[in-house]
């Protein structure tokens, strides 16, 4: 499961200039920390998307340290010190940093291959092992901000020393920095972990275990709506539903290649009757087992198996993050078994299907990526070459521009990834299609061709939403919890003005429920404004206020979550209006033709 890909804030500034600026700011920040904490040991500090960070071996930082570090950085910037590059020998570098007690720098130097150039960058008294590049002087760093602190392990290994990471950002102007900080504040407001609690969608309980999500009733409704939509649409496209177990013998994952190529992510294991079983990390080997349960004919192909399958993967505790990075999640998974001459038509149909689904949620800005053979690949290069050529032809035929992610493919095949851009301009990769010659070969899959010979099918691995958990996190943040009517866990709430209107409020809620709407009633003794405010915080699309006059006229007074008051409407008419608005959108016939 991939991390979210976030865009770089470019403005009109070329990436190389912005990267140099941020890299230089990281050095200034490291200098500031060392001035404030002379005993701190310096590790690494790269420019990253949207900013930079630096890791230190020191005691934890406190919130008030942000202002202290910024103030010290401002002094260094005001000095307008030049960044000076020096090339030195390995012996000189080792002697220098050993003398300073900078053990992490010494370890880095010893890992640099013999004969490779070793360079330093210095401003004032601060010297760092660095390849650069940098801006000319510290005075060029006009707009910067220290953002936050976090823990990190040296070289990302949880068995190593825990370090203190300081995050910051820098821009070429104060206006760009202010705009970025405003986006960060908006991102905090939309954080799916906070909204998940506010809207009572999900939780993670330490007794259950980190990375395992508990879906509350309202969150479960979100899942059901998404999953039902997918189930309905795959049937239109000739997919067949399957169900597979959550565990399997180790031999299955050994044969599929996951044991060798995915070992660090395999989760748990148990001994049963002398056999070792592992928890399912992927659905594909199980679908392969269904295919190989009988001999297939070319007349049956393509065979498309679809499953909302829950899988389990070991993620380190330090990277777990709400619904975005979990240890147990459900994929809207499918595996297609096809002949070689069906590759392009089926991949094209998959891409169209993916685009239709993404547009359903309003994601129109979609980037296409082609991910090629990784270093840790399985199988013969000739098969990879064929698969990559086919993927390139499909992408070129779509007319969409695409980027090539060299080495980004799965260990069993190259892939097409679709990345969406949310309301804050952040990019997320959810949809993926992978072309696999390797697994059918490893399992010895066959079909009977038209001439009676046995041939090997080819597989397409297809996920539209990807992880359901992750996609819901993206939706929560994209919509800021204010889901469109068809997705909203509660679509309407009837609010009684007084005790005398309670019976009518119950009746009105019953009418809405009978019409198929997700509705409830607030009959509490709270004042009307408090009830309306509560419904707005829960981001319920419609509030139907009823008092004694409404009861007498058998009407409701509708109000939207945005605060717009609508004219009173007969109860039955209101129910019909809401039913029409709440209908789950159809993807239509686009891409739905069964090949």
Tokens of 179: 């705009």
At residue 484, the pLDDT reads 95
pLDDT confidence band for 416 (50 / 70 / 90): very high
For the segment 283-308, what is each residue's pLDDT rounded down to a tens digit?
999 999 999 999 999 999 999 999 99
Q: Would you give the DSSP letter of residue 327? A: S
222, 338, 411, 536, 549 from 408: Cα distances, Å: 31, 24, 9, 43, 65
Lowest-pLDDT range of 7-16, 401-410, 486-495? 7-16
The percent of residues in the chain predicted with pLDDT above 90, rounded, is 72
At residue 47, the pLDDT reads 86
At residue 174, the pLDDT reads 93
The CB-side HSE value for 535 (13 A sphere, CA atoms) comes to: 32
User: What is the C-alpha separation between 570 and 554, in angstroms, rounded?
Assistant: 6
User: What is the C-alpha separation between 554 and 544, in angstroms, rounded?
Assistant: 12
Helix or strand (DSSP H, E) at 458: strand 458-467
At residue 230, the pLDDT reads 93
The percent of residues in the chain predicted with pLDDT above 70, rounded, is 96
At residue 425, the pLDDT reads 83
At residue 588, the pLDDT reads 58
For the segment 309-332, what is each residue's pLDDT rounded down to a tens digit?
999 998 887 778 999 999 999 999
For the segment 3-59, what is each residue's pLDDT rounded down to a tens digit?
333 333 333 334 488 889 999 999 999 999 999 999 999 998 888 888 999 999 999
Burial class from Cβ neighbours inside 10 Å (0-12, 13-18, 19+) for residue 318 reads: middle
Which three-class secondary structure state does DSSP give residue 540? coil
Helix or strand (DSSP H, E) at 477: helix 468-479
Is it the case that residue 595 has pLDDT exceeding 70? no
Is it the case that residue 378 has pLDDT exceeding 70? yes
pLDDT confidence band for 394 (50 / 70 / 90): very high
At residue 50, the pLDDT reads 86
For the segment 130-153, what is each residue's pLDDT rounded down to a tens digit?
888 899 999 999 999 999 998 888
User: What is the C-alpha separation between 250 and 285, in angstroms, rounded?
Assistant: 11
Is it the case that residue 508 has pLDDT exceeding 90? yes
At residue 2, the pLDDT reads 34
Mean pLDDT throughout 433-452?
94
User: For all residues of the chain together, what is the average pLDDT?
Assistant: 90
Is it the case that residue 442 has pLDDT exceeding 60? yes
Smallest Cα–Cα separation from 199: which of 571, 566, 538?
Answer: 538
pLDDT confidence band for 586 (50 / 70 / 90): confident
User: What is the C-alpha separation between 447 and 302, in angstroms, rounded?
Assistant: 11
At residue 11, the pLDDT reads 35
At residue 423, the pLDDT reads 83
Q: Which residues pair with 307 in a beta bridge?
A: 333
Confirm if 120 and 128 have CB atoms less than 8 A apart.
yes
14, 47, 146 from 23: Cα distances, Å: 14, 5, 14
At residue 6, the pLDDT reads 32
Q: Which residues pair with 555 in a beta bridge?
A: 570
Q: Would you give the DSSP letter of residue 255? A: H
Which residues belong to the active site?
A: 284, 313, 331, 333, 335, 415, 461
Helix-helix angle 571-582:502-514, to 10 degrees: 40
For the segment 245-260, what is each residue's pLDDT rounded down to a tens digit?
999 999 998 888 888 8
For the segment 154-188, what is each residue's pLDDT rounded down to a tens digit?
887 778 888 999 999 999 999 999 999 998 999 89
At residue 557, the pLDDT reads 94
At residue 491, the pLDDT reads 97
């Amino acid at each position: 499961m991939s991390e979210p890909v976030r865009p770089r804030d470019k403005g009109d500034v070329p990436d190389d200039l912005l990267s140099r600026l941020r890299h230089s700011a990281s050095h200034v920040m490291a200098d500031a920390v060392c001035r404030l904490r002379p005993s701190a040991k310096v590790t690494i500090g790269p420019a990253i998307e949207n900013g930079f960070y630096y890791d230190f071996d020191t005691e934890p930082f406190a919130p008030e340290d942000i202002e202290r570090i910024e103030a010290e950085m401002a002094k260094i910037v005001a000095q307008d010190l030049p960044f000076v590059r020096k090339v030195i020998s390995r012996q000189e570098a080792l002697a220098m940093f050993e003398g300073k007690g900078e053990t992490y720098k010494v370890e880095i130097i010893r890992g640099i291959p013999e004969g490779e150039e070793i360079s330093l960058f210095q401003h004032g008294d601060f010297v760092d092992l660095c390849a650069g590049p940098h801006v000319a002087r510290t005075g060029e760093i006009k707009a910067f901000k220290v953002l936050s602190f976090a823990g990190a392990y040296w070289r990302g290994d949880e068995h190593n020393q825990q370090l203190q990471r300081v995050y910051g950002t820098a821009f070429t102007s104060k206006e760009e920095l202010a705009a970025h900080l405003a986006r960060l504040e908006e991102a905090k407001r939309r954080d799916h972990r906070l909204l998940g609690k506010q809207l009572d969608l999900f939780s993670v309980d330490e007794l259950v275990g980190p990375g395992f999500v508990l879906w509350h009733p309202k969150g479960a409704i979100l899942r059901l709506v998404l999953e039902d939509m997918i189930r309905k649409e795959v049937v239109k496209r000739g997919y067949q539903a399957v169900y597979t177990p959550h565990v399997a013998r180790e031999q299955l994952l050994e044969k599929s290649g996951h044991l060798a190529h995915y070992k660090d992510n395999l989760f748990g294991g148990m001994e049963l009757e002398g056999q070792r079983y592992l928890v399912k990390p992927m659905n594909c080997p199980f679908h392969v087992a269904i295919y190989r349960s009988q001999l297939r004919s070319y007349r049956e192909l393509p065979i498309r198996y679809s499953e909302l399958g829950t899988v389990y993967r070991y993620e380190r505790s330090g990277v777990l993050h709400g619904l975005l990075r979990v240890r147990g999640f459900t994929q809207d998974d499918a595996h297609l078994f096809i002949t070689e001459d069906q590759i392009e038509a089926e991949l094209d149909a998959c891409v169209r299907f993916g685009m239709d689904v993404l547009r359903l949620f309003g994601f129109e800005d979609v980037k296409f990526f082609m991910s090629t053979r990784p270093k840790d690949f399985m199988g013969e290069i000739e098969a990879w070459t064929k698969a990559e050529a086919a993927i390139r032809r499909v992408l070129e035929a779509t007319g969409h521009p695409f980027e090539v992610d060299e080495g980004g493919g799965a260990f069993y095949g190259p892939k097409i990834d679709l990345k969406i851009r949310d309301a804050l301009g952040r990019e997320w990769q959810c949809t993926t299609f992978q072309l696999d010659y390797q697994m059918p070969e490893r399992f010895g899959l066959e079909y009977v061709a038209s001439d009676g010979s046995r041939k090997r099918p080819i597989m397409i691995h297809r996920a539209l939403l990807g992880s359901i958990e992750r996609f819901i996190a993206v939706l929560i943040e994209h919509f800021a919890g204010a889901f469109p009517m068809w997705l909203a866990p509660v679509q309407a709430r009837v609010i009684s003005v007084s005790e005398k209107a309670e019976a009518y409020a119950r009746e009105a809620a019953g009418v809405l429920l009978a019409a198929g709407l997700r509705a409830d009633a607030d009959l509490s003794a709270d004042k009307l404004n408090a009830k309306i405010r509560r419904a707005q915080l829960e981001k319920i699309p419609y509030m139907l206020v009823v008092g004694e006059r409404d009861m007498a006229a058998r009407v409701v007074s509708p109000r939207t979550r945005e605060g717009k008051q609508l004219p009173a409407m007969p109860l039955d008419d209101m129910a019909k209006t809401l039913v029409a608005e709440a209908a789950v959108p159809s993807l239509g016939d686009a891409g739905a033709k069964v090949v």
